[in-house]
Amino acid sequence: MTLSKCILKQLQAIDGTAQYSGALPKIKSSTGKVYFVKTGSSKDREQFAGEAASLKAIDAAAPGIAPRLISCGDLDDGNPYFISEYMDVAPLSSKAAEILGKRLATELHMGKSLKGFGFDIPTYCGITRLQNGWYDTWENCFAAMLQDLLWQLRSKGKYEGLCRKADRVLQSAVPKLLGPLVIQPVLLHGDLWSGNASVNSANGQPFIYDPASYYGHNEADIARMFGGFPESFFTSYHEHHAKSEPVEQYAQRGELYQLFHYLNHTLIFGGHYAASAEQKMDVLLAEP
């Protein structure tokens, strides 16, 4: 398949001596390297930039745990492009999940921010824009993220009851569960679940992808949802990274962090995710 001149120009800027073949998103070079390449329209520019910034931060904290960003910007036609290394995926085994848990605990979640909680630019959790910005406390950061999500839900015009209940969570559960935390802001994947983690079939090592990074509470990255990871992941993780104090609120904090993603899935997909979000809120609001 013939590549567009715009894409070919960017690839030749990486290695001008190679020949390139394939179809997006998998492009092979004659030197044996394989690239993940995607292009978009102007509306995708911010999303591509957020993913690129996320991958750069992840690579700095934990090299090789995510595809390495190679290039991101605008093509000659004005549309955005994104190039990273390509990794062939294989299912995440129990052993690979154990390795991943250790790497998150000892590398990724050791990446600290000097600016506070948040991120420099917007990122996208799925197709949902996370406004980000910087906050002095995790409570304020998470509350702002949740408020922004509720604003987007309200704009749909059909989730007012759900949002009113979430307002109660903001007023009670968020300060109760996040206020007592004494934590440092650490780098998060931001949308970590079993669908965004695999094994690199080339070397057998686990890796994560499609990030929506920000600096926050490490437990927000490992809240179990959507099938989650093998138990070996959590065992390994907590062998190297203790649960935050107060430990007795660990499970409740997990419910709160899961709620954010169920609300986001309600925004994107609707359907039964709204009922699941309601159930999460009932649990959070019932706690004394």
What is the CATH number for 49? 3.30.200.20
- The tens digit of pLDDT for each residue in 212-254 reads 999 999 999 999 766 679 999 999 999 999 999 999 999 999 9
- Are both 133 and 271 inside the same structural domain? yes
Q: Is 129 helix (H, G, I), strand (E, B) or coil?
A: strand
SS3 content of the chain, % helix, strand, coil (to 5): 45, 20, 35
Q: How many beta carbons lie within 10 A of that of residue 22, not counting itself?
A: 15
Report helix, strand or coil for 231: helix
Instruction: Convert the pLDDT of each residue in 168-178 to its tens digit.
Output: 999 999 999 99
Is the model's pLDDT at 288 over the cut of 70?
Answer: no
- What CATH number does the domain containing 236 carry? 3.90.1200.10
| Whole-number Cα distances in Å, 15 to 18, 32, 107, 114 | 6, 12, 31, 36
Domain count, the chain: 2
Range of the domain at 248: 89-286
Tens digits of residue pLDDT in 8-61: 999 999 999 999 999 999 999 999 999 999 999 999 999 999 999 999 999 999
Residues 63 and 99 in one domain: no
- The CA–CA distances, whole Å, from 198 to 217, 285, 286 equal 23, 35, 36
pLDDT digits (tens, 9 = 90+) for 91-144: 999 999 999 999 999 999 999 999 999 999 999 999 999 999 999 999 999 999
Same domain for 138 and 55? Answer: no
Same domain, 116 and 159: yes
Domain boundary (60, 85, 110) is at 85
Q: Which of 120, 191, 210, 221 is catalytic?
A: 191
Could you give phi then psi for residue 283, rounded to 5 degrees? -65, -45
60 and 155 both lie in a single domain: no
59 is catalytic: no
Burial 180-208 (b: 16+ CB within 10 A, else e): ebeeebbbbbbbbbbebbbbbeeeeebbb
Same domain, 202 and 154: yes
Quick one: how far is CA 67 from the chain centroid? 13
Do residues 81 and 11 share a domain?
Answer: yes
Last residue of a domain, one of 69, 85, 101: 85
